[in-house]
Amino acid sequence: MKKFYILIIALAFIINAKAQWTDDPATNTLLANTSADAGEIYLATNTNTGDTYIQWCSFVGGNGWSPTLQRLNFAGEPQWGAGGIHIAGHEFSSYSEGVAMTTTSDGGVVSCFAVYEGYTYAVKINPDGTFPWGEQGVQLFGGLGFSRAEIIATDDGGVWALGFDYQNLYLQYLNVATGPVITISDPGGYRCMYGQLTLSYENRVFVTYEKCGAQLYTDKQIFVAGYNPDGTQFSPETLLMSTQTFQVTYLHHAISDGMGGGYVYIWHPGIGEAFNTYVFHFDQYGTSTIGATGTPVHTGDPAFYYLDAYATVDPVSHDIIIGYRQTDSEYEAYHQLYVNRITPWGERVWGEGILVLDNGTAPFAKIRVDAFEYGDGFSVIYIKGQIQTSDASTVEAHGFDMNGNVLWNTQICSNTYGKTGCDNTTGFHSGQNIFTWVNSNNGGLYGQNIGQHGEMGEVTPPTPPTPCYPPTDFQGESYYNPATGATAAVLSWTAPETTPLHYNLYYEGLKGVIEVEPEYTSYYYELEPGDYIFKLTAWYEDCESDFALTASGDNYLLIEVTLSIPENEYEEIVDVIEVYNINGQRVNTSNINELNQGIFIVKGMTQSGKTVIRKIIR
């Protein structure tokens, strides 16, 4: 009997291993065997390997509401058997304490969760199904923090993990060795709760979190702070959302902006009891760029709710594209799906949004919005209810360009059984996006891929745009003219191999941007004395480049504009390398004495071998 049982498992694995993405919405791919009560489905695609990991929770394992994981190759073929790999080394509660999952840059996957005993663990699984941290995993936060784990991968194979105990938040970096435990608390007695993670540059992380009281209806604020892997803080605690009063259970979401900062959005009553979803933004320095009341996704109206939001970020403009449900506030009986686009400064680009679906009195769920890889469009996926009084549903998808025009409509699943949808999608990688669900009538984890042209099954990889080359050799210095008292920053760079439409010179984070014509490679900017941060990109027809790097590898310049030049730091230029006029045009001379009257930018070398940039007036 035992041998027969093993044979059945082996056959199930063989059958399941042959499964792959279908192009027929009536025959979606079975990804794993599970129960009808399964839920909390998370997905993550490894961009290096093309593999996709899926995690879900159920009572199948006999150790409470516990997670199981599956690995798919790019073709949608399950790699870990018919049932996946179950995390069986811990006892879990009969309800969710919050389970998180991410794929790591070295090809593995990490599951992070709180267990019944009140501790938080992280378990890593290699692609071959082995456990490099042991099947028990690593206990986090020194035994502190027992609820709602969050996790995000870094570029070096490590992860950041976050948990809390309904009073304080606990943050820790894990790689080969675990970093120090960082405690985020409020000395005034407010509870610090419900944190979210967004990755910044150099594997630093931003934590956005809520401060609130102990009641169900309470005053709530949202803050952001930034941390280094060694436990030090690189960005101070900054207020994103000012005090609002609403249910503590309405939680915020956070997403990276692709520039080292991030967006936050949350649903709450707002001003005048107009229930709405509000968007906030912070730059790579943790500075808020939208006011503390945020930008609503729709003009507030007490007759309507705007809720159930889910967002993506355009990789070119770095605007947030957010989908949300509009419903009547009296009975919540009507259901419309909208998308809107909001800039890092809070401008609502599409006004009152673009209507994607009017589903009448039939509900829909699991709105998922994903930008195409190269910024030429986005998709909206959702589970569409068929009638008001039944859980019968299909899965639908629409494609749009970045101006909000419809590109295609595709039915992903035409079978109308009840569905428990995934809590996130994979996003587009190598041309495909993945959406999964559990058959909530009789079990089974199913999924479907979709390409950015609306196709299923074999997808067409997108054609990369012309390389978006950044400027190089970004440098600058402070300038002071004792005769006039003028102070300025003098900046220069080397043009990329492909001529851009213009350069974007950012200063003071994202608060200001100067467009510099493409024929110029220097800029003179008069400023009051102070410390200024500058960043530079090249803007092309289809994309904006990465930030230009300095000689030391930084993607920014920090220039201290002062009223004087210390005598021990000033050195005369003895060898002229390049000369530019004030408009950035190169002057064909290496002899300063040959210059006509005017203002010039001189790049040269001092007696000690130091390369400097100076402004001279002839």
Q: Which of 294-298, 341-345, 611-615 has the lowest mean pLDDT?
A: 611-615
Domain end: 335, 361, 387, which one? 361
93-138 tens-digit pLDDT: 998 888 999 999 999 999 999 999 999 999 999 999 999 999 999 9
Q: Contact at 8 Å (CB) between 187 and 212?
A: no
491-502 b/e with 16+ CB inside 10 Å = b? bbbebbeeebeb
Instruction: Find out whether 171 and 165 touch, Cβ atoms under 8 Å.
Output: no
Boundary of a domain, candidates 361, 389, 407: 361
Determine the pLDDT at residue 160.
97
- The CB density around residue 127, as the number of other CB atoms within 10 Å, is 18
How many angstroms separate the CA atoms of 517 and 526, rounded? 18
The residue range of the domain holding 551 is: 472-617
Of 361, 395, 419, which marks where a domain is finished?
361
Q: Are residues 224 and 343 in the same domain?
A: yes
Position 92 in a domain: no
In the predicted structure, residue 181 carries a pLDDT above the cut 80: yes
Tokens of 450: 């979709």
- pLDDT of 426 above 80: yes
Nearest of 242, 215, 238, 213 to residue 225 by alpha carbon: 238
Kindly state the tokens that stand for 269.
């009553």
- Residue 582 CB-density burial (10 A; 0-12 exposed, 13-18 middle, 19+ buried): middle
DSSP 563-581: S---TTT---EEEEEEEEE
Q: Are 477 and 351 part of one and the same domain?
A: no
Q: Which of 587, 605, 523 is nearest to 559 (CA)?
A: 523
**pLDDT, mean of residues 297-306:** 94
Q: What is the DSSP letter of 126?
A: -
Q: Say how far apart CA 235 and CA 286 lie, in whole Å.
A: 6
Whether the Cβ atoms of residue 105 and residue 47 lie closer than 8 Å to each other: no
- Measured in degrees and rounded to the nearest 5, phi and psi for residue 333 equal -100, -15
Q: CA 149 to CA 164: how far, in whole Å?
A: 8
pLDDT of residue 71: 98
pLDDT tens digits, residue range 246-298? 988 899 999 999 999 999 999 998 766 789 999 999 999 999 999 999 999 99
Task: Report d(CA 296, CA 141) in Å as an integer.
Answer: 36
Answer whether residue 77 is part of any domain.
Answer: no
Contacting residues for 189 by C-beta, under 8 A, at least 6 apart:
none
pLDDT digits (tens, 9 = 90+) for 518-529: 999 989 888 888
In a domain, 338, yes or no: yes
| Short-list 255, 406, 242, 223, CA closest to 319 | 255
* Residue linked to tokens 């220097």: 522
The answer to whether the beta carbons of residues 426 and 109 sit under 8 Å apart is no
Residue 246 belongs to a domain: yes
Percent of the chain whose pLDDT exceeds 90: 71
For residues 457 and 22, the answer to whether their CB atoms sit within 8 Å is yes
- Cα 476 to Cα 527: distance, rounded to the nearest angstrom: 14
Backbone angles phi, psi at 155, to 5 degrees: -85, -5
Rounded Cα distance, 271 and 194, in Å: 23
525-548: b or e for each residue (b if 16 or more CB lie within 10 Å)?
beeeeeebebbbbbbbeebbbebb
- Distant-in-sequence, close-in-space partners of 271: CB < 8 Å, separation ≥ 6: 293, 300
Give the pLDDT of residue 584. Answer: 59
Token digits of residue 68: 């199981």
Residue 3 has pLDDT above 70, yes or no: no
Is 382 a member of any domain?
Answer: no
Q: Note the pLDDT of residue 536.
A: 95
Residues 213 and 352 in one domain: yes
Amino acid at 224: V
The neighbouring-strand residues paired with 339 are 323, 354
Tell me the C-alpha distance between 420 and 72, whole Å. Answer: 20
Torsion of CA 614, 527, 202, 242, to 10 degrees: 180
User: Per the confidence metrics, is the pTM higher than 0.95?
Assistant: no
What pLDDT is recorded for position 12? 38
C-alpha separations of 452 from 289, 367, 437, 443 in Å: 31, 17, 20, 29
Distance of CA 337 to the CA centre of its chain: 22
pLDDT score, position 16: 41
Exposure of 346 by Cβ count < 10 A (0-12 exposed, 13-18 middle, 19+ buried)?
A: middle
How far is the C-alpha of 326 from the C-alpha of 521, rounded, in Å? 48
pLDDT in tens, 456-480: 999 999 988 878 899 999 999 888 8
What are the strands of the beta sheet with 39-45, ordered from one edge?
Answer: 39-45, 52-58, 66-72, 85-86
**Segment (H or E) for 408:** strand 406-413
Please, what is the average pLDDT of the chain? 90
Over residues 215-232, the mean pLDDT reads 94
Per the structure, the count of domains in the chain is 2
CATH of the domain at 529: 2.60.40.10
208 & 346 share domain:
yes
Asked if 288 contacts 239 with a C-beta cutoff of 8 angstroms, the reply is: yes
What's the burial of 24, exposed, middle or buried (CB within 10 Å: 0-12/13-18/19+)?
exposed
Residue 175 maps to a domain: no
Torsional sign, CA 84, 90, 94, 98: negative
Residue 194 confidence (pLDDT): 94
| Within-domain flag for 247 | yes
SS3 of 432, please? strand
Residues 229 and 357 in one domain: yes
